[in-house]
């Protein structure tokens, strides 16, 4: 009951954040000097032709009307132009790319499998790797294991993805010829090839981020191991494995989950550098391409979609958080 | 059974513990020896740093890796030192149950109480989840919890300190241990709750025929529960004797001093003879009329009335003792007086200045409050956290002077030196840092700082609760002397009735945000009129086994009567 109210409250604030983000993105859209109508008008561009293009795209209306049309399009779909030349963009319509002659939703949809494959695999890998390393370092504090784990963490944090990625490609792709260096095979086509193509991006992304998680986990674990309830757990005769892996880890994971949620959300919106390095056609490269060609409807749609993912991931964190920590639904929100 | 009834359940002999630090060894326990017998309570008594808790931790085999342990710890004849970790795990929770000091932090916040007790059972017994659950409910009933099923399903933050400590005890006895270690089991609890927990431990020890090792600094608790006493100082046992001997004829000088330092409550009489209090005819220094302080709750939880319409006054030069249990609102009064909490309604005046009005106005009130603060000093409970660790003692004491007075240079140094001398610290202490001092010395510094501006009012919020009894006695003496010398009025807030008795001219007892009873100290503490005050007084254990037996009886009658 209390929990439902807590989650309902979070849902409402999540929607509010989305409205604000969409407004802000729309504002950017209007402040930018480039004009999609101008671009599709062709050369030479007559004032008449420009007005026509503008009307076709709906840019002749006042800004708030355009925003409302955009929002309505998400729920109902919308059409541009009239008569036989009209293009329809069905719900949920996040705009229409007049350069590519495709609805933005469709463009995003095509890129999702690639980005999600990269993000989810990498996130799972870094979570497991980072947390295990952190726990191990904390339990063996001051030993060689601790010191090497933390040395790895420093190295990992300071090595950027493009460097690690290129080195990885050079070493494992070309010198050792173990894994493919670019491209993407859909999961439905061949799961083995899918994974095989993704191993390198996963590792490169995970290596960097797991270093951050290892440090976070180690610090949290050292703090939690000093708590009174850990002493209680030991005093009732539990094995060290249960004390650390059950009593301590549950408490350590609470802050780790918070960070994980927003990291994953961000990554789902497109791993721009990683996609570029491994020449994969994900959301990141879509955005990059849209910005490069000045395709404003596409930029708007992609940014909004990424923001939506981040907000959604944070909501998921709240749900998991409540399950991990029984105090949370009362003390916050 | 080979062991005779006389054979000790647990025998500790020549136990030494030292910790490796910076290449050297720091001794913590130097040759402790004692024996625990079935059905008897042995109290290990000592002040902080005496090694009593380290001894208990050594028995459990839970000392950190840098500890070096020597001597012998035998459980039913079996040597525990140097035994395998697996065997130690069987002993912990199986044969030796443990209760810790702070029930609020001793249970894991993310698991239900029932799950944590069931886990203790399943660590030692082959029982199904369901059977363990049934046992948990039975155990919770045994420790006197009236709604065991609800408590088993609750998370620690949903329960009170007393309920949690009972749940801890249920966990400790879950596998029928032969030894129960209770490490300061009631220190974090209110006196009325403490009395119930002590009663439960006494009852369990007798009923289950368990040997109890009670670790405490509180001689009242010792008098209430112990059969035998071991007094420790600096890691050594200075005296071992039956409880009556310890209190009636302490042999060692340290034991004598320790007992001397314990503040004593007068004999309680539930009749009502009238004894005259001290009369003050000066003008009221503090006037509190129908004051309400509310804290805003979250969401629709509504406001919490921490102080619910109270009337109090403090005359110039008078010490008012404000007594109450945790959550009674006593500290809120102190904070409201200092203008640190906005007063919701009512009149609150200090030296004729309207603090209540000033506390409600964020910006315009600030000037008034700054003015009032030059007229009052505040001493808090924990001197370690109320002094800036990066400032010297001299700088800390000088701070209020530089903020509120024109003293500078040599005149300022002169005043600081006077203050350092007034709280009886050596003159060269002005150049030291807080971490170089003991708790008692730090509290002296805090007092010196509070008195720097010659305040008309001193607010002392539990100033001795974090200190050992011998240090507490010295601080109380100092406060009394300073009060006589400088003649400031004082609001002395404490949960400890005996401490208040030593210092206060008048006492006010708070309960649930209201004043239950107030009057001259001698009258209120000797012949309380209200049932709550009577219960509070009867629940406080005194350091005298014979007297404590009578008080326990009185407490029992008071709590069982409708």
Q: Please indicate whether, in this complex, the C-beta atoms of B123 and A231 are within 8 angstroms of each other.
A: no
Q: Please indicate whether, in this complex, the C-beta atoms of A231 and B62 are within 8 angstroms of each other.
A: yes
What is the pLDDT of chain B when averaged over all its residues? Answer: 87
Mean pLDDT, residues A279-298 taken together: 86
- The residue of chain A with its CA nearest to that of B90 is A237
**What are the chain B neighbours of A244 within 8 Å (beta carbons)?**
none
Best probe of the B interface among A2, A12, A235, by most B CBs < 10 A, is A235
Show which residues on chain B lie within 8 Å of chain A, measured between beta carbons. 60, 62, 89-94, 98, 100, 102, 105-111, 116, 119-120, 123-124, 155, 157, 168, 171
Q: Please indicate whether, in this complex, the C-beta atoms of B106 and A327 are within 8 angstroms of each other.
A: no
Among A72-86, B115-129, B393-407, B463-477, the range of highest mean pLDDT: B115-129
In the prediction, which pLDDT does B301 show? Answer: 53
Of the candidates B170, B198, B196, the residue with the CA atom closest to the CA atom of residue B184? B198
In the prediction, which pLDDT does B255 show? Answer: 92
- The residue of chain A with its CA nearest to that of B85 is A239
Q: Please indicate whether, in this complex, the C-beta atoms of A238 and B89 are within 8 angstroms of each other.
A: yes
Specify the higher pLDDT residue, B97 or B560.
B97
Q: Please indicate whether, in this complex, the C-beta atoms of A234 and B62 are within 8 angstroms of each other.
A: yes
Q: Tell me which H or E stretch contains B510.
A: strand B506-511
Specify the higher pLDDT residue, B470 or B86.
B86
pLDDT digits 0-9 by tens, B124-138? 999 999 999 999 999
Mean pLDDT, residues B116-123 taken together: 95
Which residue, chain included where needed, has tokens 């004051």? B291
Q: At a CB cut-off of 8 Å and minimum separation 6, what does A311 contact?
A: A14, A17, A18, A21, A265
Separation in Å, CA of B158 to nearest CA in chain A: 9
Looking at residue B7, what DSSP letter applies?
S
Burial class (CB in 10 A: 0-12, 13-18, 19+), A12: exposed
Rounded Cα distance, B456 and B373, in Å? 10
Of the candidates A34, A242, A211, A32, the residue with the CA atom closest to the CA atom of residue A129? A211
Give the number of residues written for chain B: 562
Q: What is the DSSP track for B358-375? A: HHH-TTHHHHHHHHHHTT
- Is pLDDT of A7 > 60? yes
Q: Please indicate whether, in this complex, the C-beta atoms of B106 and A229 are within 8 angstroms of each other.
A: yes
In the prediction, which pLDDT does B302 show? Answer: 63
**What are the chain A neighbours of B98 within 8 Å (beta carbons)?**
232, 235-236
- The residue of chain B with its CA nearest to that of A232 is B106
- The residue of chain A with its CA nearest to that of B125 is A237
pLDDT digits 0-9 by tens, A80-128? 877 677 788 887 888 888 888 888 899 999 888 888 888 999 999 999 9
Separation in Å, CA of A236 to nearest CA in chain B: 4
pLDDT digits 0-9 by tens, B425-447? 988 888 888 888 888 899 999 99
Rounded Cα distance, B348 and B360, in Å? 12
**What are the chain A neighbours of B111 within 8 Å (beta carbons)?**
247, 250
Best probe of the A interface among B106, B118, B179, by most A CBs < 10 A, is B106
Which residue of B62, B108, B124 is in closest CB contact with A229? B108
pLDDT digits 0-9 by tens, B493-544? 998 888 898 889 999 999 988 999 999 998 898 888 888 888 888 888 888 8
**What are the chain B neighbours of A239 within 8 Å (beta carbons)?**
89
**Percentage of chain A exceeding pLDDT 70:** 93
pLDDT digits 0-9 by tens, B166-178? 999 999 999 999 9
In the prediction, which pLDDT does A294 show? Answer: 79
Give the 3-state secondary structure of residue B391: coil
**What are the chain B neighbours of A251 within 8 Å (beta carbons)?**
108-110
Q: Please indicate whether, in this complex, the C-beta atoms of B120 and A236 are within 8 angstroms of each other.
A: yes
- The residue of chain B with its CA nearest to that of A231 is B106
Separation in Å, CA of A210 to nearest CA in chain B: 25
Q: Please indicate whether, in this complex, the C-beta atoms of B62 and A327 are within 8 angstroms of each other.
A: no
- Is pLDDT of A244 > 90? yes
Which residue of A231, A251, A330 is in closest CB contact with B100? A231
Q: Please indicate whether, in this complex, the C-beta atoms of A247 and B108 are within 8 angstroms of each other.
A: yes
3-state secondary structure chain A: CHHHHHHHHHHHHHHHHHHHHHHHHHHHHHHCCCCHHHHHCCCCCCHHHHHHHHHHHCCCCCHHHHHHHHHHHHHHCEEECCHHHCEEECCCCCCEECCCCEEHHHHHHHHHHHHHHHHHHHHHHHHHHHHHHHHHHHHCCCCHHHHHHHHHHHHHHHCCHHHHHHHHHHHHHHHCCCCCCCCCCCCCCCHHHHHHHHHHHHHHHHHHHHHHHHHHHHHHHHHHCCCHHHHHHHHCCCCHHHHHHHHHHHHHHHHHHHHHHHHHHHHHCCCHHHHHHCCCCCHHHHHHHHHHHCCHHHHHHHHHHHHHHHHHHHHHHHHHHHHHCCCHHHHCC
Give the 3-state secondary structure of residue B473: helix
Separation in Å, CA of A266 to nearest CA in chain B: 29
Mean pLDDT, residues A302-318 taken together: 85
Q: How much is the ipTM here? A: 0.80
A and B: number of Cβ contacts within 8 A: 73
pLDDT digits 0-9 by tens, A22-52? 888 778 767 766 676 776 666 677 787 777 7
Q: Please indicate whether, in this complex, the C-beta atoms of A237 and B89 are within 8 angstroms of each other.
A: yes
Which residue of A237, A324, A330 is in closest CB contact with B110? A324
Rounded Cα distance, A274 and A272, in Å? 6
In the prediction, which pLDDT does B272 show? Answer: 47
**What are the chain B neighbours of A325 within 8 Å (beta carbons)?**
109-110
Tokens encoding A108: 């995003």
Q: Please indicate whether, in this complex, the C-beta atoms of A232 and B106 are within 8 angstroms of each other.
A: yes
């Amino acid at each position: 009951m209390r929990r439902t109210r807590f989650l309902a409250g979070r849902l409402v604030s999540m929607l509010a954040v989305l409205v604000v983000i969409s407004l802000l993105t729309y504002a950017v859209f209007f402040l930018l000097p480039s004009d999609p109508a101008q671009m599709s008008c062709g050369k030479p561009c007559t004032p008449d032709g420009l007005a026509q293009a503008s009307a076709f795209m709906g840019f002749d209306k006042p800004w708030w009307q355009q925003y409302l049309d955009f929002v309505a399009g998400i729920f109902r779909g919308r059409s541009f132009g009239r008569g036989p030349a009209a293009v329809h963009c069905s719900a949920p319509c996040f705009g229409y790319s007049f350069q590519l002659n495709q609805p933005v939703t469709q463009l995003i949809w095509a890129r999702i499998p690639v980005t999600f494959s990269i993000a989810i695999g990498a996130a799972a890998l870094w979570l497991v790797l980072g947390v295990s390393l952190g726990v191990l370092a904390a339990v063996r504090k001051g030993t060689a294991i601790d010191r090497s784990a933390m040395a790895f963490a420093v190295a990992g944090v300071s090595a950027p993805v493009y460097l690690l990625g290129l080195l990885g490609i050079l070493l494992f792709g070309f010198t050792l010829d173990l894994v493919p260096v670019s491209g993407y095979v859909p999961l439905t086509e061949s799961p083995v090839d899918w994974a095989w193509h993704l191993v390198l991006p996963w590792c490169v992304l995970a290596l960097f981020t797991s270093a951050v998680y290892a440090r976070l986990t180690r610090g949290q674990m050292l703090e939690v191991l000093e708590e009174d309830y850990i002493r209680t757990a030991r005093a009732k005769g539990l094995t060290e494995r249960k004390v650390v892996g059950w009593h301590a880890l549950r408490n350590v994971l609470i802050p780790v989950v918070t960070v994980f949620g927003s990291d994953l959300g961000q990554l789902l919106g497109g791993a721009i550098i990683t996609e570029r390095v491994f020449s994969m056609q994900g959301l990141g490269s879509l955005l990059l391409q849209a910005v490069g060609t000045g395709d404003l409807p596409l930029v708007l749609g992609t940014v909004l979609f990424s923001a939506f993912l981040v907000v959604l991931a944070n909501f998921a964190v709240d749900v998991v958080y409540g399950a991990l920590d029984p105090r949370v639904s009362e003390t916050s929100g | 059974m080979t062991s005779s009834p006389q054979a000790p359940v647990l025998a500790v002999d020549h136990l030494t513990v030292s910790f490796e630090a910076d290449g050297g060894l720091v001794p913590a326990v130097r040759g402790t020896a004692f024996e625990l017998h079935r059905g008897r309570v042995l109290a290990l008594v000592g002040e902080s740093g005496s090694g009593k808790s380290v001894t208990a931790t050594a028995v459990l085999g839970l000392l950190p890796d840098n500890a070096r342990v020597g001597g012998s710890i035998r459980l039913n004849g079996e040597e525990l030192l140097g035994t395998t970790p697996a065997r130690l795990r069987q002993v912990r929770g199986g044969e030796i149950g443990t209760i810790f000091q702070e029930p609020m932090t001793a249970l894991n916040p993310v698991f239900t109480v029932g799950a944590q007790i069931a886990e203790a059972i399943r660590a030692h017994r082959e029982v199904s989840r369901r059977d363990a659950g049934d046992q948990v409910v039975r155990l919770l009933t045994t420790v006197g919890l009236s709604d065991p099923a609800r408590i088993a399903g609750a998370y620690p933050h949903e329960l009170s300190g007393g309920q949690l400590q009972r749940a801890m005890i249920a966990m400790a006895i879950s596998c029928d241990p032969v030894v129960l270690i209770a490490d300061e089991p009631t220190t974090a609890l209110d006196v009325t709750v403490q009395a119930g927990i002590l009663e439960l431990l006494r009852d369990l020890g007798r009923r289950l025929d368990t040997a109890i090792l009670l670790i405490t600094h509180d001689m009242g608790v010792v008098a209430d529960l112990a059969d035998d006493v071991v007094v420790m100082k600096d890691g050594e046992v200075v005296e071992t004797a039956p409880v009556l001997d310890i209190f009636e004829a302490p042999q060692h000088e340290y034991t004598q001093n320790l007992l001397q330092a314990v503040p004593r409550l007068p004999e309680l009489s539930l009749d009502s003879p009238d004894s005259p209090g001290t009369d003050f005819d000066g003008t009221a220094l503090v006037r509190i009329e129908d004051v309400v302080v509310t804290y805003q709750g979250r969401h629709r939880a509504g406001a919490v009335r921490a102080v619910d319409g109270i009337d109090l006054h403090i005359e110039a030069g008078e010490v008012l003792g404000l007594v109450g249990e945790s959550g009674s609102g006593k500290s809120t009064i102190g904070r409201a007086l200092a203008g640190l909490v906005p007063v919701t309604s009512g009149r609150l005046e200090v030296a004729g200045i309207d603090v209540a009005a000033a506390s409600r106005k964020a910006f315009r009130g600030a000037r008034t409050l700054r003015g009032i603060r030059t007229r009052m000093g505040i001493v808090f409970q924990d001197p370690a956290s109320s002094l800036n660790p990066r400032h010297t003692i001299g700088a800390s004491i000088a701070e209020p002077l530089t903020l509120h007075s024109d003293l500078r240079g040599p005149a300022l140094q002169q005043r600081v030196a006077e203050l350092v001398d007034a709280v009886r610290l050596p003159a060269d202490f002005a150049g030291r840092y807080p971490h170089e001092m003991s708790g008692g010395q730090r509290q002296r510094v805090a007092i010196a700082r509070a008195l720097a501006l010659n305040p008309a009012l001193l607010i002392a919020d539990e100033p001795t609760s974090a200190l050992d009894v011998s240090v507490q006695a010295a601080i109380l003496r100092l406060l009394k002397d300073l009060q006589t010398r400088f003649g400031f009025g004082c609001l002395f807030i404490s949960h400890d009735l005996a401490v208040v008795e030593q210092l206060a001219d008048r006492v006010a007892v708070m309960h649930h945000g209201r004043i239950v009873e107030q009057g001259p100290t001698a009258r209120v503490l000797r012949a309380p009129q209200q049932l709550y005050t009577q219960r509070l007084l009867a629940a406080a254990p005194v350091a005298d086994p014979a007297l404590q037996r009578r008080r326990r009886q009185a407490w029992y009658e008071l709590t069982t009567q409708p």
